[in-house]
Amino acid sequence: MIAGVGVLMLAMGVGVLIGRTTVSGQAQAPAPEVVTVAGASSGTSSAPTEATFSSDWPSGTNGYTVQLQTLPQSGTSVSAVEAAKTAATGKGAAAVGALKSEEFSSLTAGSYVIYSGVDRKKAGAEKALKGLKGKFPAAKVISVSNGSSAAEAGSSGNSSSSSGVGSSEAHPAPPSVLEGLSKSKGKSYEEKSKNLPDVVED
């Protein structure tokens, strides 16, 4: 019995030692490594935005110009419009500018117009056209008006022009403006012809 009691106590002693060793090992175990993952940057980088188009046509001015070319508004960037202006200047056109057709009632909406010069009278634009036709075969004289007054502001004594009537197809002048023209001769005929509106109703 004494031997059995001794074996039991020995076993208990071994068990206590194993338990202490286990607790000691757990206490000394290294802390788990914490890995920090850098999040995505809060700042967002964006590509530079396209500049807003600004018309070169003088504000509040009705007149005539030489249309060198048109670019469709849909799909044409402002930088492309600027490039077209630079190219026109390089080919010899003077006072080159660009406008958006939808901003003027005398023009058909939907395009950018590259033009040369601003003339109060149609005769001035027609004279400029002669010097540009060689390098710009498609060039033509157009009326640029917002509809509040006649495009040809320099002409006087023409009541239909001052009211905007006859300045575009949307506002044609009545056929009566042609009455008496066929009977006129010489300077009288010339003066009346100069004062005729651009568009006369059939």
Residue 197 CA, chain-centre distance (Å), reads: 33
- pLDDT, tens digit (0-9, with 9 covering 90-100), for 4-29: 766 677 767 666 666 665 555 555 55
CB within 8 Å of 77: residues ≥ 6 apart: 50
Pairwise CA distance, residues 119 & 141, whole Å? 10
Just give the CATH number of 63-144.
Answer: 3.30.70
Residue 198: other Cβ atoms inside 10 A: 20
The fraction of the chain above a pLDDT of 90, given in percent, is 46
Report, in angstroms and rounded to the nearest whole number, the Rg of the chain calculated over CA atoms: 43
Residue-range domain boundaries for the chain: 63-144, 159-194
pTM, whole model, 2 decimals? 0.52
Pairwise CA distance, residues 6 & 185, whole Å? 152
- pLDDT, tens digit (0-9, with 9 covering 90-100), for 36-95: 666 555 555 555 566 899 999 999 899 999 999 999 999 999 999 999 999 999 999 999
Of all helices (H) and strands (E), which one includes residue 72? strand 63-72
Distances (CA, A) of 3 to 9, 15, 17, 85: 10, 19, 21, 115
- pLDDT, tens digit (0-9, with 9 covering 90-100), for 148-162: 444 344 444 343 444
